[in-house]
Amino acid sequence: MGLAVLWPGGAPPHERTGVGFDRQTYEATVTEVVEVNCKDVGASGVPPTGDTSTAEGSSAVQQENGTCKKATIRVDTGKDKGRTFTEIVQPDQSRQLHEGQDVVVAYEPSAPKDLQYSVTDVNRRIPMALLAGIFALAVVVVGRMRGVMALVALAISFLVLTFFILPAILQGSNPLVVAVVGASAIMLIALYMCHGLSARTSVAVLGTLLSLLLIGLLGSGFIDWAALTGNTDDNTGLIHGLYPSIDMSGLLLAGVIIGSLGVLDDVTVTQTSAVWELHEANPTMGWRGLYRAGIRIGRDHIASVVNTLVLAYAGAALPLLLLFSIAQSSVGTVANSELVAEEIVRTLVGSIGLVASVPVTTALAALVVSADRPEKGAVSAGAQPVPAGTQPAPGRGGRGRRRKR
């Protein structure tokens, strides 16, 4: 119902700004690279490459004794297919072009003809596609049919993200509502496709939903209290400039919810499976015993998952943390910065939801599975009743042995 009500008609159109990712790009190939003297580049009129990865920028062109490279690039796609242009590669740039390399070029129609195209990145499609193929093969070989279903669920998750969550947010829908509906749809599809339609899976679904609700409430409260705007870098600034109606703090909260979903699925499915296996091992164990045994397993899971989540966020923000370290900023100053505060709130809110999912899911699983526990004196499923008047015969070791009928 949520998907039907919030389904977008498509992202609203806008004129390209030519900034960041909002550029028209094409595929191209480096056809020739020759060495030139950097002091002669300024007079040649050939612009430097669009790679601005060095702090010096174009200052390297002014070196008197440096050796630069002049690259000739051929456009391979688009209306100007076959057109060539040249760029200067500075010697201190982190990215050096070489002959035969596949690159991505940006096109700016309003620029002078000699400056309309510029190299923006390397074309990585082939290695990325090969890595994805190796990943899919490993999942299928190890997981077999369940691995195949996991890949199908992964593809559907990307479809929901691409065709529902992102366009709905751009269209102006509340990012929190869109994230909850989209994450719930992804969760239902992924869990039931990978683990089957059963009571066990339904318990994991319910535990995940309750944990997502807690994450949403905590995230909303602390994002507002900490006055986090969600507009902290060039990309979010560009989004806000193109679509001012988007609630950037709501977008931050939506990211917290979607980012926590994958780990939540892992925790809830694991806890549910643990309780079910404990019940299979000892069908007479009541729900309290199942809960106590399951929560002991969950404590180990909590320790590893929380550490994983914190390290994942720290790894993503490592360049930023290095900048603070270079500036010799105190821990309080670093934590108070909005860039770092966002990651702290994201990590802690997600971790609280993960921790809460363990007792909640374990309790639900124990209650559901213990409902099938046989009553005292009842004949268990599949057991043959003992005929009247037949008593077990004594056997070795004091154990009884039932007579044949």
What pLDDT, on the 0 to 100 scale, is given for residue 131?
95
Residue 236 burial (C-beta neighbours within 10 Å; 0-12, 13-18, 19+): middle
282 C-beta neighbours (distance < 10 Å), count:
12
Q: Are 73 and 87 spatial neighbours (Cβ–Cβ below 8 Å)?
A: yes
Cα angle 72-74-78, degrees, rounded to a multiple of 5 = 150
Q: Would you state the pLDDT for residue 13?
A: 64
Element (H, E) at 382: none
CA nearest to 80, candidates 111, 109, 100: 109
In this predicted structure, what is the pLDDT of residue 42?
55
Look at residue 93 in the predicted model and tell me its pLDDT.
75
pLDDT of amino acid 139: 92
3-state secondary structure of 102: strand
- Residue 315 has a pLDDT of 75
Confidence (pLDDT) at 401:
44
Q: Is the pTM of this model over 0.85?
A: no
The series of mean pLDDT values per 10 residues for the chain, 405 residues long, is 82 61 81 81 52 41 63 87 86 80 86 82 90 94 89 90 86 83 88 85 90 89 86 74 78 84 84 90 86 88 74 72 71 75 84 89 89 50 43 43 44
What is the per-residue pLDDT for 20? 59
Triad 320, 322, 326: Cα angle to 5°: 120
pLDDT at 194: 83
Please list the residues that pair with 189 across neighbouring strands.
none
Instruction: Quote the CA–CA distance of 76 and 78 in Å, as a whole number.
Output: 7
- Given this model, what pLDDT does residue 372 score? 63
Q: What is the pLDDT of residue 231?
A: 78
Cα 236 to Cα 104, 173, 247, 331: the distances in Å are 23, 17, 11, 25
So what's the pLDDT on residue 10? 64
What are the boundaries of each domain within the chain?
24-123, 146-370
What amino acid occupies position 64? E
In one-letter notation, the amino acid at residue 31 is T
Instruction: Determine the Cα angle at 232 with ends 221 and 229, to 5°.
Output: 30
pLDDT recorded at residue 140 = 93
